[in-house]
Chains A and B, each alone.
Chain A
Amino acid sequence: MKRRLFVASSLSALGLTACGPVKESLTNGPFRNVLLSTEKLNHGVIGTHGLAREYREADIDRNFRVNGLDTPSDATYAALSKGRFREYRLVVDGLVDRPQTLSLAELRAAGDRTQITRHDCVEGWSAIGKWRGAPLGTVLATAQPKTTARYCVFHCFDADQSGERYYESLDLHEAAHPQTLLALDLNDKPLDDDHGAPVRLKIPTQLGYKSAKWVQRIELVADLTPVGGGSGGYWEDQGYEWYAGI
């Protein structure tokens, strides 16, 4: 019995030390494709149904936590911010019949929706904010997307330390969801620079990293693979799921 216990404990000790390389080879080996495939299953099963819960004024976090990075260091952005975004224009182009260049006033006139929704970060925390802006679907409609357009890509002012541009994307189904906003206000005030001024995406049916900040240009495309790293977004290129509904 003692010998058996010794064998068993030696084997488990060996198992623990071999764990690091084993975990590494499993994560990055041929098994990786299996790991990546679950996303399609989850997208199919969970998808985007119904509306995100909307909360009361009393539930709002007045100091809404900043997700992702803070104020971009981009020179163009700094200049725009200094001029309080009077010179800012949102470009909507790509596979559209009528490319748009919208000022903030024009964007506010395009549509008006206010929603108090919960922001669920991929890290695990949640915060509740009051978002006001134009529904993305309404803005896209003014540009009249071509029938070949399947996705909208959000090109942002931000870049990481290695110069990699921040971008995100949604398919046109998610873009047309009534709660998918191009938000201009957070908690009754225009967005500040840390929270994505002057325009950010707010999509409460998916995790926070989909809600791209500092949107500069919306490009309609048929295929995401030629854009950026090819996975549909900055975080997606780092291994996160494009479908962030779970």
Chain B
Amino acid sequence: MTSEASVEAFSGGRTEVRGERVYRHDVVARTTHWVWALAILVLVMSGLQIFNAAPYLDASDKSNPARRVLAFGAVTVDGQPVRVTSVFGHRFTSARVADTAPLSDVRAFPEWATLPGEQDLADGRRWHLLFAWVLFVAWLAYLVSQGIRGKLRELVMRPADFKKLVPMQLYYCRLRKEPPPYGTYNPLQKLTYNVVLFVMFPLLIITGLALSPGIDSAIPWLTPILGGRQFARTWHFLLMALLIGYFATHLFLVITTGMWNNMRSMITGWFVLGEHDGVGP
């Protein structure tokens, strides 16, 4: 089968062509997208505030320095407080702390990165627990509304999509002239959104709930399958780091693949099709 023939076979009578304006994201999809963006921002910043109260992570149930994965701290060198970061027991001494504040005042994450800015575990928890609900409700609203409209079909990975992942990556790496034919989202986009929506969001919620002594009593099997409470805390932190990695990639691709077109589609819903958009399933 030639590639032209396969394009025709896959397009199934669709007439979308380059330059055509299509209404891509409905109002629920757009709203929930921006609610997620806000919720993730608040959750990361308030999460770092909470992390600062015990700036270390263990791969264990109870706290156990012998199984410490990551630790932020400070030591005094020549009368100056110096930041120390330990990763699997390897200590990295970083830049000197500017002032000679007491060691206990040295924070793992700085003021600009936390919510509230100053050390305030109580309010950090309030923000975190509220926006956890916001994220959860927006996630549910998106899945239900898109499910009802039949739009999830455009997004969910199908077996055929997995075969297109390598060609798509080769195209991105400029090692292939044409991308494989795809529909609304290209196969790598689909995979990424599927991982974020169906793996990372649920796991972030589950690992967060596993930290709760109330949940641990009510659902006693949950915390152990994650390796215990401190391990759940470690997973929760790791997932946060992965989500930030995703966000950076997302931002980069939004900017480099037609920033204004992408932004408009997420604000007004209207998207101008590119050369390869919407030619396949």
Query: Which residue, of B53, B112, B217, has the highest number of chain A Cβ atoms within 10 A?
Result: B217
The answer to whether B129 and A52 touch across the interface, beta carbons within 8 angstroms, is no
Q: Is the CB of A23 within 8 A of B116?
A: yes
Within 8 A of A (CB), among B217-276: 217-220, 223, 229-230, 233
- Counting CB contacts under 8 A, is B61 at the interface? yes
| Chain B binder among A107-115, A155-163, A202-210 | A202-210
Chain B residues numbered 31-80 whose CB sits less than 8 Å from any CB in chain A? 50-51, 53-54, 61-63
CB contact between A125 and one of B54, B117, B219 (< 8 Å): that residue: B54
Chain A contacts for B120, CB-based, 8 A: 27, 239
Q: Give the complex CA separation of A59 and B54 in angstroms.
A: 21
Q: Which residues of A sit under 8 angstroms from B229, Cβ to Cβ?
A: 118, 120, 126
Contact indicator per residue, chain B 122-141, by CB within 8 Å of chain A (1) or not (0): 11011101100100000000
- Tell me the complex Cα distance, A35–B127, Å: 6
A interface, how many residues as a size bin?
Answer: 35 or more
**In the assembled complex, which residues on chain A have CB atoms less than 8 Å from the CB atom of B161?**
none
Interchain CB contact (< 8 A) of B230 among A34, A126, A246: A126
Q: Which of A40-48, A83-91, A95-103, A130-138 binds B?
A: A40-48
Contacts of B154 in A (CB 8 A): none
Does A147 sit at the interface, judged by CB under 8 A? Answer: no
CA distance A65 to B125 in the complex (A): 22
- The answer to whether A205 and B213 have CB atoms under 8 Å apart is yes
Q: Does A128 contact B (CB under 8 A)?
A: yes
Give the contacting residue for A123; candidates B54, B111, B127; CB below 8 A.
Answer: B54
Residues of A within 8 A of B116 (CB): 23-24, 27
CA distance A174 to B220 in the complex (A): 18
Question: Measured between alpha carbons, how far is A52 from B122 in the docked complex, in Å?
Answer: 24
Contact A59 B62 (CB under 8 A): yes
| B214 in the interface (beta carbon within 8 A) | yes
- In angstroms, Cα B63 to Cα A118, docked, is 10
CB-based contact B218/A49 at 8 Å: yes
Q: What residues on B are CB-neighbors of A204 within 8 Å? A: 213, 217
Known: A48-B217, A126-B62, A246-B212. A27 touches B54 (CB 8 A): no
How far is A122 from B111 in the complex, measured between Cα atoms in Å? 20
Binding site for B on A (CB under 8 A): 16, 19-20, 23-24, 27, 34-39, 41-42, 46-53, 59, 61, 65, 118, 120-128, 204-207, 235, 238-241, 244-246
* Residues of B bordering A, CB below 8 Å: 50-51, 53-54, 61-63, 111-112, 115-117, 120-123, 125-127, 129-130, 133, 209, 211-220, 223, 229-230, 233
